[in-house]
Structure 1
Amino acid sequence: MSLAPVPLVEIHRGPILESLHTGHAVICDGTGQIVESWGDPRAVVLPRSSSKMLQALPLVASGAARAFGLSTERLALSCASHEGAPLHVAAVNAWLADLGLGDDDLICGPQVTRDKALKLDMIRHDQSPCRVHNNCSGKHTGFLTLNKHLGADANYVDPSHPVQTACKELFEAVTDETSPGFGIDGCSAPNFATTMHGMARAMAFFATAHGREDAVSKGAAELVQAMMKHPDLVAGDGRSCTLLMQAAKEPFAVKMGAEGFFVGILPKRGFGIALKITDGGLRAADSAMAALLVRIGALDAANPVVQQFLNPPVRNWDGLVTGEIRPVAGLTGPLA
């Protein structure tokens, strides 16, 4: 019997509860057991870009990353949903050049940069968006690197392609579930489904990977370390993933996905977190993830950076504070 999603984040206008975001959340330990959960741990979900670490796992576990001498910066980019800022574009272009490839080899589609200064500069110079500006271009360059290592054909996003079958194999291994199917993501790659428990279990696998010596675990640990070392490459200026990692009381990695998905990897505690806001609201995902990290003790609720995601004010066009976004009572902890 499935359980309903539960209230996780409230939107208040003055004293009135105006809107309510519901969702599911699971915290797992290193054994894959549930520490705490809200809503339905068995709910089937598409983790969207929160699964990028899983999609990058064959890149390192196969030996491709080592064979191509990938730096920690490039490993972080392989897990990134970046802003398409000059920092990200230059790094991905250099990686492509080292592979002897270019923008046209990416199958992620062009996307307008989210960096305001670069966007205006491109408009002034009548420049069109490129595929390298796509937030998934780092992941796709990782796919291309693995593809070169495997010697397979150019259509690396085809679900039957060796790159994607390798992704599915490791996705199912670390979630410890058979995926019931997939959807095609915004970047044209398959996005495999799992349960909330499966995704939290996978994040706990990553969180405890540094304590194991098999190739998959060592690859997972390398990806986590790269994300924690380069939070600016994982997302970008002003983004919750980057700012929450920079505000951490202890090293952790977080990764947002589209439609209100968010995951956390906490190596010090061996915990994995999976969060889904059922209406896809990113403002609620930010608040609920910040709350869960406060609950666990990895973030300080009083930190101003944390506050801007945990409990941000709602302002009108005149700058007047008219309300607030806040997690439901009790969500910030302490951990049960």
Structure 2
Amino acid sequence: MPGPQPMVELWRGPLCESVHAGHAVVCDARGQVVRAWGDADAVIFPRSSVKMIQALPMVEAGLPLSTDRLALACSSHRGAAKHVAKVQAWLDALELGDGDLLCGTEASRDRETRHRMIRDGVAPRQVHNQCSGKHVGFLAYTQHLKAGRDYVQPDHPVQRAIHAAQDELTGIDSPAFGFDGCAAPNFATTVTGLGRAMAAFAAARDGQGARGTAMAALRDAMCLHPDLVGGEADPATDLMRAMDGRVAAKSGAEGVFVAILPEKRLGVAVKIVDGADRAAAQAVAAILAELGVLDRAHPTAQTMLDTPIVNRAGAQVGRMRPAPGFPS
């Protein structure tokens, strides 16, 4: 069993100060691994990288949803004003309120919004939670199923449908589950399983049955609304913008990152074993550049592939860059 492969180095002055190692795969439309680094069979929690899978049963059931709501269902948004307004509007359409969400209260991650709320004495609500879009999707599907409101329980019909969809797309019977930061269950899979699921989204086309149509709709909505999937200063949003909507990308906590490449019918999955999100973003950018879908000359690519380390006085004191031999 291979160990994790060094993927990202941080240099300060003349010394390599930190090395981030991990596992990664590229899978094709047949679900086969075409490139692998580290242990492709490592079992991981995919965290928020699978929000498109968590939204899939709702869309497959035929709920009429706009592209912005599809993107919100896949999002880990910043809690900016536009994110909160769209989540609230969806709640209103369902005739539900903030108290119906089960994701928990979180301060807005958008600096401007957070500071304005502090100045105005406005307390954070659940709609500010980065996962509130996903949770409104859960509520919409719960209404459709006429199921109980405790939609985050693993035995709830919503979560059973998600569990089944993930196992089918990954080709792996999930060996365990844990609870995510937003209280929803997160079903473990392998790095290969995660890459295989992303490749299935890449190969999906409108008109290929309910599932294929739903997968294509979710993927295309992410590409159409990268600002809703994350937001300003979010690496997944930055990558999607840099590739002009040709690739869907999504981060997950603890160093997980995925990408969906429709033109090449490929899926990418990365897991950094020390959980460093900064390394996951750079590792997936390096793989996308290697695959020829991220232009190395693009300003976002240049920054993500050779990231300056700047001190508080504004001087560059180091750099973060792909480890030698990765990903070539």
TM-score, with structure 2 as normaliser: 0.98
Q: Counterparts of 1:267 and 1:330 in 2: how far apart (Å)?
A: 27
Q: Counterparts of 2:20 and 2:207 in 1: how far apart (Å)?
A: 38
Aligned 8 A contact 2:9 2:322 in 1: yes
**Matching of residue 193 in structure 1 with residue 188 in structure 2:** yes
Q: Where does 1:125-204 land on structure 2 (aligned, <5 Å)? A: 125-204=120-199
Superimposed CA distance per residue, residues 201-234 of structure 1 (whole angstroms, 9 cap, x where no aligned partner): 0000000011761211111100000000000000
- 1:12: Cα distance to partner? 0.6
What count of residue pairs does the alignment treat as equivalent? 328
- 1:192: Cα distance to partner? 0.4
Aligned 8 A contact 2:206 2:217 in 1: no
Aligned 8 A contact 1:24 1:196 in 2: yes
Structure 2: which amino acid aligns with 1:13?
A: R
Q: Indicate which of 95, 110, 127 corresponds to 1:115.
A: 110
Superimposed CA distance per residue, residues 87-109 of structure 1 (whole angstroms, 9 cap, x where no aligned partner): 10000000000000010000000
Which residue of 2 is the match for residue 4 of structure 1? 3
Q: Where does 1:41-60 land on structure 2 (aligned, <5 Å)? A: 41-60=40-59
CA RMSD of aligned residues (A): 1.1
Which residue of 2 is the match for residue 29 of structure 1? 28
Q: Which runs of 5+ in 1 are unaligned?
A: none
Q: Where does 1:70-89 land on structure 2 (aligned, <5 Å)? A: 70-89=65-84
- 1:237: Cα distance to partner? 0.7
Q: Counterparts of 2:167 and 2:214 in 1: how far apart (Å)?
A: 16
Range moving further from structure 2, 231-240 or 316-325: 316-325
Structure 1: which amino acid aligns with 2:116?
A: D
Q: Counterparts of 2:271 and 2:306 in 1: how far apart (Å)?
A: 18
Q: Counterparts of 1:28 and 1:5 in 2: how far apart (Å)?
A: 18
Q: Indicate which of 234, 256, 264 corresponds to 1:239.
A: 234
SS of 1:210's partner is: coil
Q: Which runs of 5+ in 2 are unaligned?
A: none
- 1:126: Cα distance to partner? 1.2
Q: Where does 1:211-222 land on structure 2 (aligned, <5 Å)? A: 213-222=208-217
Aligned 8 A contact 2:103 2:131 in 1: yes
Which residue of 2 is the match for residue 40 of structure 1? 39
Q: Counterparts of 1:176 and 1:211 in 2: how far apart (Å)?
A: 22
Q: Counterparts of 1:310 and 1:91 in 2: how far apart (Å)?
A: 33
Superimposed CA distance per residue, residues 246-289 of structure 1 (whole angstroms, 9 cap, x where no aligned partner): 01066010000000000000000000000000000011011101
1:278–1:83 distance in 2 versus 1, CA, 3 Å: same
Structure 1: which amino acid aligns with 2:16?
A: L
SS of 1:280's partner is: coil
Q: Counterparts of 1:13 and 1:200 in 2: how far apart (Å)?
A: 33
**Matching of residue 296 in structure 1 with residue 296 in structure 2:** no
- 1:308: Cα distance to partner? 2.0
Aligned 8 A contact 1:295 1:331 in 2: no
Structure 1: which amino acid aligns with 2:189?
A: T
**Matching of residue 90 in structure 1 with residue 108 in structure 2:** no
Structure 2: which amino acid aligns with 1:133?
A: H
**Matching of residue 100 in structure 1 with residue 99 in structure 2:** no
Aligned 8 A contact 1:294 1:332 in 2: no
Aligned 8 A contact 1:249 1:300 in 2: no
Aligned 8 A contact 1:8 1:21 in 2: yes
- Runs of 4+ in structure 1 off by over 3 angstroms are none
Q: Counterparts of 1:126 and 1:318 in 2: how far apart (Å)?
A: 32
Aligned 8 A contact 1:82 1:88 in 2: yes
Range moving further from structure 2, 207-216 or 189-198: 207-216
**Matching of residue 309 in structure 1 with residue 304 in structure 2:** yes
SS of 1:31's partner is: coil
Aligned 8 A contact 1:286 1:310 in 2: no
Structure 2: which amino acid aligns with 1:83?
A: R
Structure 1: which amino acid aligns with 2:166?
A: F
Q: Counterparts of 2:129 and 2:277 in 1: how far apart (Å)?
A: 19
Q: Counterparts of 1:165 and 1:323 in 2: how far apart (Å)?
A: 47
Which residue of 2 is the match for residue 251 of structure 1? 246
